[in-house]
Chain A
Amino acid sequence: MNLNFRPWAAASVACLAALLCTPGFAQKPRVIEDSMAERTRACTACHGDQGRAGPDGYYPRLAGKPAGYLYHQLRNFAEGRRHYGLMIRLVDPLSDSYMREIAEHFASLHLPYPAPTPSQLKPEQLARGQQLVTQGDRALGLPACVQCHGERLTGAQPHVPGLLGLPLDYLNAQLGAWQTGQRRAHAPDCMAEVVKRLPDQDIIAVSSWLASQPLPANASPAAQSPQPSLDAAFRCGSAPELSMAGGRP
């Protein structure tokens, strides 16, 4: 056994002992950050750290979505247009201004997106999905997703959400929920009209193609609202700016 005196070791032990004996150590002062990140732990528990999306493929990403869109979703839960018990319980006690602040917080977070998951669907189905997303279907009276959700499909300020970087299960569930009336937006509900015209078998094609696409280099929502030329059936109560200038009112 080496009993040589080691001054650095003795000093370390002394320091540690002093630290342990400090009254503050047993109950060190707790500093809780006065931030929106701290205030929204109830959200990030499911939606992932900083709202980057939950691990199970159902809880969607919140980070970087347009603030107006996120705010509308909170209101939709509070006002019975979207139904999910946990979300309703969370938003019920919040004030309008606090909902806006929470929406703006998540909208301001710009995080990298995970790589998309390759689709299991047959190539011809994926091609159908791509066609609907990028060109729509004139015969069915279906506008293309890109007309409102942006050429890059990353959404547009202030109200239109992006469609990329979302889990396949979530996309399917949302389109399905619109089909059954479980999910609604502010009236007039343009998405309800779109989904009404979308054949059942095409839902999986659209959502699979979207879920398999990588994000473009600039993943932020477009700063300017697109001005789609759509007929009056596609007025959006949740994004009135879409039918303002360029559209045919």
Chain B
Amino acid sequence: MNLLRTARHLLLAGLALLTTAVVWHNWGDLLTQPDAAISPTSPSTAPTLQRGHYLVQAGNCITCHTNRGQPPLAGGRAIETPFGPVYSSNLTPDPDTGLGQWTALDFWRALHHGRSRGGRLLAPAFPYEHTSVITREDSDTMFAWLHSQPAVKQAQPAHGLTWPLGTQAALAVWRTLYFSPATFQPDTQQSTEWNRGAYLVQGLGHCAACHSPRNALGATQGVSDLSGGLMPVVNWYAPDLTSDRETGLASTPLADVVQLLRSGTNGQAHTSGPMSEVVQHSLQHLSPADVQAMAVYLRSRVRPDTASVSTAVRRIPSTVAERGLKVYERHCVSCHGEQGQGAPGIYPALAGNRAVLLAEQTNLVQAILYGGYGPATAGHPRPFGMPPFVLELDDRDMAAVLTHIRSQWGNAAGEVTPLQVNRIRAASAQ
């Protein structure tokens, strides 16, 4: 009996210790770093506001914090996660529903610690792993611009996360496992440009929020992991940025990488899916120097492609091959050409196209299902579009034509099956 009681006491003590550790991890800084620690006041001069707007664009904040058809920055957009929708907050200076009562320190705490004013832990759909890296100075500048915008009264809807995932206790545990506030550590071995790029990629750009695989609890591998991953819910594959085979980052001239990121195309490659949204709302507004810095950093992260790609294409059944050719000639050839050569600057070539050859076929199926336009940007204001085929082609036609373009003109990627198309179609339906 005594033994049992001791065990129970030990268990309770252990739990108490664990709880203390979790609480300390999430709120401990409030004791160690009192409010007065740093409070530089940035005067809201025109250049500061302009800079603040620029940084907010670099963070692509407006896209998530604006609901379709509603005033910008007023929040309320549902960010769909595998655990339920999370609604973005109102960043306008409305005192009741927005940031009207916030101070620059409150704002920095949200970015750096992922905590709302008053200490409430935020759901990590807000990529605070990344915003944590943003400097206090940039944070204050962004805050100054946000405060200069028109106030909009619009309350943030309650998140629809499956219980208990949205509770403060669950968030505290999640953060103890996966989040610690971090500051950007420059690498003195690298150039100023490289460091600027690293700061933007890891912080405001939050590239790894998509370009890193997520585990079962929705955590990425960290702000520096760029190894690619399938984005949940929206169902697009964000390519592995450390693989030249997937992105061409190392083998494409730097100027072309910059052009792709700033305008959505460089004549050869085109952005699609969520990356187009990033170009449209964020990257096209950045200075060429900043985008080049990001490209320089990203290029340095490319590692030699080790895993050899099997070039031996398995035999494709003749019925599939015939069907694929027929669909290609009917629907694709007039734009993409008889040799899959495309038309530079207009329609992408399919021969040798990295996106066509990706082992992960989700993006290809998305492209053929929904077609659409690349982003209309200052650098490429009048893009040509691709028709959607979601209503026109069934799973077998799509599988056959994708198999066709993956195995012609020197392309040697694997077959796509109707079942694979069907799964991606079902997961991508809106």
Contact = CB atoms under 8 A, between A and B. Distances in A.
B318 interface: no
Contacts of A101: 382
A41 B383 CA distance: 11
A46 B386 CA distance: 12
A41 B384 contact: yes
Interface string B383-406: 111111011100000000000000
Given A27-B338, A101-B382, A42 B371 contact: yes
A89 B388 contact: yes
A81 interface: yes
Interface residues of B toward A: which range? 20 to 34
B352 interface: no
Contacts of A200: none
Contact of B384 (A39, A80, A95): A39
Contacts of B276: 93
A249 B375 CA distance: 41
A40 B382 CA distance: 10
Contacts of B372: 42, 89-90, 93
A90 B382 contact: no
Interface string A91-129: 011110110010000000000000000000000000000
B277 interface: yes
Interface in A12-46: 27, 30, 32, 38-46
B337 interface: yes
Interface in B342-381: 343, 346-347, 370-377, 381
Given A27-B339, A30-B341, A80-B69, A40 B385 contact: yes
Given A79-B68, A80-B69, A95-B381, A45 B347 contact: no
Contacts of A46: 387-388, 391
Nearest to A28: B338
11 contacts: A32-B343, A41-B386, A42-B371, A44-B387, A45-B387, A78-B68, A89-B372, A89-B430, A93-B375, A95-B377, A95-B381
Contacts of B385: 39-43, 90
B321 interface: no
A46 B390 CA distance: 11
A66 to B, nearest CB: 22
Nearest to B429: A85
B250 to A, nearest CB: 28
B335 interface: yes
A86 interface: yes
Interface of A: 27, 30, 32, 38-46, 78-81, 85-86, 89-90, 92-95, 97-98, 101
Nearest to B264: A93
A8 B230 CA distance: 63
Given A38-B384, A93-B277, 17 more contacts: A27-B338, A27-B341, A32-B335, A32-B347, A41-B385, A41-B386, A42-B372, A42-B385, A42-B387, A45-B387, A90-B372, A92-B277, A94-B373, A94-B376, A95-B376, A95-B381, A98-B381
B12 to A, nearest CB: 53
The 4 closest A-B pairs by CB, nearest first: A45-B387, A42-B385, A80-B69, A79-B69
A44 B385 CA distance: 11
Nearest to A43: B385
A41 B387 contact: yes
B142 to A, nearest CB: 25
Contacts of A44: 387
Nearest to A98: B376
A9 B34 CA distance: 97
B386 A42 contact: yes
B26 interface: no
Interface of B: 68-69, 264, 276-277, 280, 335, 337-339, 341, 343, 346-347, 370-377, 381-388, 390-392, 430
Contacts of A38: 384
A41 B335 contact: yes
A43 to B, nearest CB: 7
Given A38-B384, A101-B382, A80 B68 contact: yes
Nearest to A91: B373
A85 B387 contact: no
B75 to A, nearest CB: 15
A97 B381 contact: yes
Nearest to A90: B372
B381 A30 contact: no
Contacts of A27: 338-339, 341
Contacts of B69: 79-81
Given A41-B387, A42-B387, A93 B280 contact: yes
A32 B386 contact: no
A220 B69 CA distance: 32
A226 B337 CA distance: 49
B416 to A, nearest CB: 22
